[in-house]
């Protein structure tokens, strides 16, 4: 099976869906001539032309609104934000138009569109470019939200998002574009929205996570395995709708849960997961649910402070041992 990068998996998904449906088009800053800020749209202008791979000015609110209008008349736009931090300028179109138009029009206006781009912190990009957006966006009724953590899921979830008849948010991991994984070459890769996956089987503690933190959970699970602790990893993949059954099934087996997220603790998406576990899985729990997350500070620029602020495998291991009553 071919091993490709997360970036190339996204490129394959875009290319295949644009070949499949001529209503699909890509629009954003530097997606055409420059071939994408992260080279996700490499070669697409040459294949599909400037009517379907559309370079825009630096006007997030403007081109997001053009996308909403295009969806209302039956096209299927893919709006790329160079980073979700810049999407702050376009939230009115995402939240007040895309998310609500289908409902407010009584179903008269279609709203099949995708908003996608890198999410979360990279390395030394400081506070304004290092924010994880899942709790902001999953909070909004009318939006579906996905956060792929592997190349396979990046391709499969993006293809499903493009085919969905609702606005879908795709939160790509900014630090994942160069990561590699197996993606089948001669079969269609489609990951259903709303379906979590067990990335690693275990019986002692459940790591519930998504996006870039799947890699961190895997690192933590490897460290725990050296001490004969078997951690199970549940990759939610889709945050809204959330696969509650997958969470409940894992917690009923391990009786302990650690939620691992990239964002801040206050009103973070992990709080929603923890609330579900304590309400619906209370009788299965042998310890309180713990969350591992970014420190509640704007992301520092200094390397040592940035490292201290981020969630990592060491913090995940400590949380797992705490719910196992192996550490205070």
Q: Which member of 16, 129, 139, 295 is catalytic?
A: 129
In degrees and rounded to multiples of 5, residue 146 shows phi and psi of -125, 150
Coil/strand/helix, residue 37 = coil
Q: Transcribe 139-165 into DSSP letters.
A: TSTT-EEE---SHHHHHHHHHHHHHSS
The alpha-helical segments, DSSP class H, found in the chain are 6-20, 44-48, 60-72, 91, 101-104, 134-138, 151-163, 213-225, 244-254, 269-280, 303-309, 313-323
Q: Tokens representing 210? A: 């998504």
Please give the torsion angle defined by the CA atoms of residues 239, 125, 162 and 98, in that order, rounded to the nearest 10 degrees: 80
Coil/strand/helix, residue 1 = coil
261 is catalytic: no
For residues 236 and 175, give the distance between their C-alpha atoms in angstroms, rounded to a whole number. 19
For residues 310 and 315, give the distance between their C-alpha atoms in angstroms, rounded to a whole number. 9
Query: Do the beta carbons of residue 161 and residue 155 sit within 8 Å?
Result: no
Query: Do the beta carbons of residue 322 and residue 290 sit within 8 Å?
Result: yes
129 is catalytic: yes
Q: Which member of 29, 60, 261, 306 is catalytic?
A: 60
For residues 287 and 289, give the distance between their C-alpha atoms in angstroms, rounded to a whole number. 7
For Cα atoms 141, 143, 149, give the angle at the middle one, nearest 5 degrees: 125
Catalytic residues: 60, 129
């Amino acid at each position: 099976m071919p091993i490709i990068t997360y970036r190339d998996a996204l490129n394959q998904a875009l290319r295949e869906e644009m070949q499949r449906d001529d209503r699909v088009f890509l629009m954003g800053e530097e997606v055409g001539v420059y071939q994408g800020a992260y080279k996700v749209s490499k070669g697409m202008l040459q294949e599909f032309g400037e009517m379907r791979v559309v370079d825009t000015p630096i006007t997030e609110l403007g081109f997001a609104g053009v996308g909403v209008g295009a969806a209302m008349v039956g096209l299927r736009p893919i709006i790329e934000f160079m980073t979700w931090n810049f999407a702050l300028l376009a939230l009115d179109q995402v939240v007040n138009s895309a998310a609500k138009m289908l409902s407010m029009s009584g179903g008269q206006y279609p709203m099949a569109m995708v908003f996608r781009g890198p999410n979360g912190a990279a390395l030394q990009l400081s506070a304004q470019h290092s924010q994880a957006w899942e709790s902001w966006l999953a909070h909004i009724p009318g939006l579906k939200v996905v956060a792929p953590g592997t190349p396979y899921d990046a391709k499969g979830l993006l293809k499903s998002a493009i085919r969905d008849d609702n606005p879908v948010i795709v939160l790509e991991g900014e630090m994942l574009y160069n990561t590699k994984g197996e993606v089948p070459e001669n079969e269609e890769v489609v990951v259903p929205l709303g379906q979590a996956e067990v990335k690693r089987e275990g019986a002692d503690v459940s790591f519930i996570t998504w996006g870039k933190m799947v890699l961190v959970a895997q690192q933590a699970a490897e460290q725990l395995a050296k001490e004969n602790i078997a951690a199970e990893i549940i990759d939610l993949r889709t945050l809204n709708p959330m696969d509650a059954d997958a969470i409940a099934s894992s917690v009923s087996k391990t009786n302990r849960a650690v939620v691992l997220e990239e964002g801040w603790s206050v009103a973070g998406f992990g709080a929603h997961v923890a609330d579900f576990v304590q309400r619906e899985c209370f009788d299965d729990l042998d310890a309180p649910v713990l969350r591992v997350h970014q420190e509640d500070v704007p992301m520092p620029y200094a390397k040592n402070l940035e490292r201290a602020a981020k969630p990592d495998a060491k913090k995940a291991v400590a949380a797992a041992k705490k719910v196992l009553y192996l550490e205070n």
